[in-house]
C-alpha cells in the first residue's frame, strides 16, 4: 500500500492538466496558473500546444512527450522530478491519459513516490455523455475501437448487452463504416448519439436509431471530431424455465455437444446453477 498526500511537500511532482477540446475559454484559472508556474510543460505536440499557450498568455519551457517517445522520455522526466522539478503534462486537447499520452509517466511517478496531481477539466467523452440524453450511470468508455470490422464486432457485442451507455471515439472518415458494423450487431432501432465538434461553432448532436443516424451520414459526409454513444440495453431479460433450458441443452446435444458440455454452456449463458440444471435434466 502507498499513500500520496498531493499538497504536503514542495518537492518534484507531476500535474496532469486538461486543455480545451475546442473552446479556449474552457481552460481553468488553475490550469493556467499551473502551466505558468511549472518548471516544464511536457506537451504531446509542442507546436499545437505552443499556439494554445500563446493564446492564453502562458510562456514556459516545453518538453516534447508523445506516444512514440514516451517510453524513452519518461525516465528523463522522472529524473527531473526526483531533483525537485514540477512538470505539467498536457496533450493536444482534453484530458491527458484519456486516449492520449501520459499513462506511462503516471505509472513511473507512482513507482518512484512522486505525487501525481490531476486537474479536473474538459474531456470529449464526458462532455458528450452529459448531453447525449442517455443515462450517465453506468457507462463504459472504449476510446478508439480497432479499425477492422472483425475486431470491432466483439466490442459491439458487449455494447449490445450492456445495460449502461457505451461511448467510443471515431474519426470522421471511418464513422460511416463503423456505423455499418454497429448495425450488423445491434437492433436497427437501438438509439445512438453522434456528438460532433463539441464546444466549437459547429457543435451538433445527431440523435436517433442506428438506422436513422447511419442513413443520415450516408447522405451527409461526417466532418469534424466525433464521439459516438450507444444507449443502454433496456430490453426485458427473458427468464427461461428449466423446461426451456432443457430444450436448449437438447438442441446443443443434437448439434454434437456432449451432455456435460451442453449443460455447462446453457447454465453459464443463462446464469443458473450447473448442478441444478444437471438434476433437472436427469429427472
Ligand atoms: N484526450 C482527449 C479527451 O480527453 O477527450 C481525447 C484525445 S483523442 C486523441 C481525440 C479524439 O477525441 C477525437 O478523434 C474525437 O473522437 C474526440 N474529440 C476530441 N475533441 C472533440 C470535440 N471537440 N468534439 C467531439 N469529439 C472530440
CA–CA distance, 50 with 219 (Å, rounded to integer): 38
Protein residue with its CA nearest to atom 6 in ligand 1? 99
Cβ-based neighbour number of residue 75 at 10 Å: 12
22 Cβ below 6 A of ligand 1: yes
267 Cβ below 6 A of ligand 1: no
226 Cβ below 6 A of ligand 1: yes
Protein residue with its CA nearest to atom 11 in ligand 1? 169
CA–CA distance, 104 with 109 (Å, rounded to integer): 9
Q: If you measure from the C-alpha of residue 229 to the centroid of ligand 1, how many angstroms do you get, rounded to a whole number?
A: 13
Cβ-based neighbour number of residue 57 at 10 Å: 9
CA–CA distance, 55 with 88 (Å, rounded to integer): 18
Q: Which atom of ligand 1 is closest in space to residue 96's alpha carbon?
A: 1
Tell me if the bond preceding 138 is cis, omega within 30° of 0: yes
For residue 19, give the DSSP letter.
B
222 Cβ below 6 A of ligand 1: no
Tell me which of 118, 227, 228 to substitute to probe ligand 1's pocket, judged by most ligand atoms within 8 Å of the beta carbon: 227
124 Cβ below 6 A of ligand 1: yes
Task: Count Cα atoms within 13 angstroms, Cβ side, for 157.
Answer: 6
Terminal C-alpha separation, the chain: 52
Does residue 27 contact residue 19 with C-beta atoms inside 8 Å?
A: yes
Q: Write out pLDDT tens, residues 43-74.
A: 999 999 999 999 999 999 999 999 999 999 99
Tens digit of pLDDT at every position of the chain (283 positions) = 989 988 877 899 999 999 999 999 999 999 999 999 999 999 999 999 999 999 999 999 999 999 999 999 999 999 999 999 999 999 999 999 999 999 999 999 999 999 999 999 999 999 999 999 999 999 999 999 999 999 999 999 999 999 999 999 999 999 999 999 999 999 989 999 999 999 999 999 999 999 999 999 999 999 999 999 999 999 877 778 899 899 989 999 998 989 999 998 888 777 788 999 999 999 8
Q: Write out pLDDT tens, residues 225-249.
A: 999 999 999 987 777 889 989 998 9
CA–CA distance, 17 with 27 (Å, rounded to integer): 9
SS3 sequence, 196-207? ECCCCCCCEEEE
* CA dist 282 → 27, 106, 146, 263 (Å): 67, 56, 45, 11
Q: Which atom of ligand 1 is closest in space to residue 98's alpha carbon?
A: 1
Protein residue with its CA nearest to atom 23 in ligand 1? 198
SS3 category, 46 = helix
Amino acid at each position: 500500500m502507498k499513500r500520496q498526500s498531493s499538497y504536503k511537500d514542495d518537492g518534484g511532482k507531476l500535474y496532469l492538466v486538461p486543455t480545451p477540446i475546442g473552446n479556449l475559454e474552457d481552460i481553468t484559472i488553475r490550469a493556467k496558473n499551473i502551466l505558468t508556474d511549472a518548471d516544464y510543460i511536457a506537451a504531446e505536440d509542442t507546436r499545437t500546444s505552443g499556439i494554445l499557450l500563446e493564446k492564453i498568455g502562458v510562456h514556459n519551457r516545453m518538453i516534447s512527450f508523445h506516444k512514440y517517445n514516451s517510453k524513452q522520455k519518461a525516465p528523463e522526466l522522472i529524473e527531473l522530478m526526483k531533483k525537485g522539478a514540477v512538470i505539467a503534462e498536457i496533450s493536444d486537447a482534453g484530458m491527458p491519459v484519456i486516449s492520449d499520452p501520459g499513462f506511462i509517466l503516471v505509472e513511473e511517478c507512482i513507482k518512484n513516490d512522486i505525487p501525481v496531481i490531476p486537474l479536473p477539466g474538459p474531456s470529449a467523452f464526458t462532455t458528450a455523455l452529459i448531453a447525449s440524453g442517455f443515462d450517465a450511470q453506468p457507462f463504459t468508455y472504449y476510446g478508439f475501437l480497432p479499425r477492422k470490422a472483425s475486431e470491432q464486432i466483439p466490442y459491439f457485442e458487449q455494447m449490445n448487452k450492456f445495460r449502461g451507455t457505451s461511448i467510443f471515439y471515431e474519426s470522421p472518415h471511418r464513422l460511416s463504416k463503423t456505423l455499418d458494423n454497429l448495425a450488423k450487431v445491434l437492433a436497427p432501432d437501438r438509439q445512438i448519439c453522434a456528438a460532433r465538434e463539441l464546444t466549437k461553432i459547429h457543435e451538433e448532436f445527431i440523435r436517433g436509431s442506428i438506422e436513422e443516424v447511419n442513413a443520415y451520414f450516408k447522405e451527409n459526409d461526417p466532418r469534424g471530431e466525433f464521439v459516438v454513444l450507444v444507449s443502454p440495453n433496456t430490453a426485458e431479460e427473458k427468464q427461461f424455465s428449466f423446461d426451456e433450458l432443457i430444450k436448449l441443452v437438447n438442441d446443443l446435444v443434437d448439434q454434437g455437444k456432449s451432455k456435460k458440455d451442453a449443460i455447462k454452456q446453457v447454465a453459464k449463458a443463462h446464469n443458473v446453477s450447473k448442478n441444478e440444471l444437471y438434476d433437472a435434466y436427469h429427472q
